[in-house]
Structure 1
Amino acid sequence: MTCKEMVEFLMAYLDRELPEAQRASFESHIDLCPPCQVYLDTYRQTVSLGKLLCEHEDDPVPDDVPEALVRAILAARRQEG
């Protein structure tokens, strides 16, 4: 499996939808490719943070959060909806 294929199969892997042979190939690639290990870990952290954000979406925004970040998050939420 190549790094590009790893990215293409990432969602199916995390959703446990890959056939066994592809799953084994994916995991073998991850074991041998440090950049893809970082990519997978970062992706998982991003998903976790997104879930956490959704759980606290009605909480007030702290004063020290940059306004540009708040605008970017709100814009992304509008695009999703």
Structure 2
Amino acid sequence: MDCREAESLIDTYLDRELDQARTAALEAHVRACPECRESLGRLIEFLRSDDTVAAPEGLSDRIVRTVERRMAGRSRRWMKLTAAGMAVAAAAALWVVGWWELGQSHAPGRESQPPVVQVSPWMASGMVQAVATQAGPAGPVISAAQAHLLERSAHEPLERLGRALADRALVRTGETARARQPLPEEARLAVLTSLYGVWR
């Protein structure tokens, strides 16, 4: 063992944390080396002395200020992390609730209610004309008219309703009502077919 290794082991030796083999090697080196023996002797004498060491003036104030500064920094950092964590938790909770609600609305066996469309009679009569003359796919207004007419068909006999809608459409202006020209036969069949499928 050389002096450098002996110096690195002295603290561990004084704390009695060295294993037996290293302790024996260190003690043999200290007996053979006067410099290491003197260094170890001074340390042992210092540790056995009852002398108290006076702290420099202002040391305790500096320690208190440093601790307060570090605690304040940690507190601010902790608050920022807490706020960020709460924001992430709130976003995650919102996502989970939305995901759950979406899953519940499309769950098998759960009937979804069709949207309720309310169309005034004078608007429905104009929509029938639009359905009869429409060439392309039905838009939202036409679909609303069809839904309204199908809803009414549940309360009125199908044939009477179909003929009344296809034969004439009333436009109300103020208190008076006038009949429009009857629809041509092809238009009437188109209206009835688009509203009720194949007309019997």
TMscore range, shorter length: 0.5 to 0.7
Tell me what 1:44 maps to. 44
Tell me what 1:29 maps to. 29
Q: How far apart, in 1, do the equivalents of 2:36 and 2:10 lie?
A: 10
1:74 aligns with 2:74: no
Once superposed, which parts of structure 1, at least 4 consecutive aligned residues long, lie more than 6 Å away?
Answer: none
Q: How far apart, in 2, do the equivalents of 1:33 and 1:48 lie?
A: 23
Structure richer in helix, relative to its length = 1
- The CA deviation at 1:74 is 1.3
Q: Secondary structure at the match of 2:52?
A: helix
2:3 partner letter: C
Q: Secondary structure at the match of 1:16?
A: coil
Q: Secondary structure at the match of 1:74?
A: coil
Unaligned runs of 5+ in 2: 64-200
- The CA deviation at 1:14 is 0.8
Tell me the TM-score normalized by structure 2: 0.27
Q: Secondary structure at the match of 2:29?
A: helix
Q: Deviations over 1:15-55 (max 9, x none)?
A: 11101110010000011011111010111222334x5316x
1:9 partner letter: L
Unaligned runs of 5+ in 1: 58-72
1:53 aligns with 2:35: no
Output the aligned Cα RMSD: 2.4
Give the share of equivalent positions with the same residue, in percent.
29
Please tell me whether Structure 1 or Structure 2 has the larger radius of gyration of its CA atoms.
2
Q: Which has the higher contact order (CA 8 A, sep 6+)?
A: 1
1:33 partner letter: C
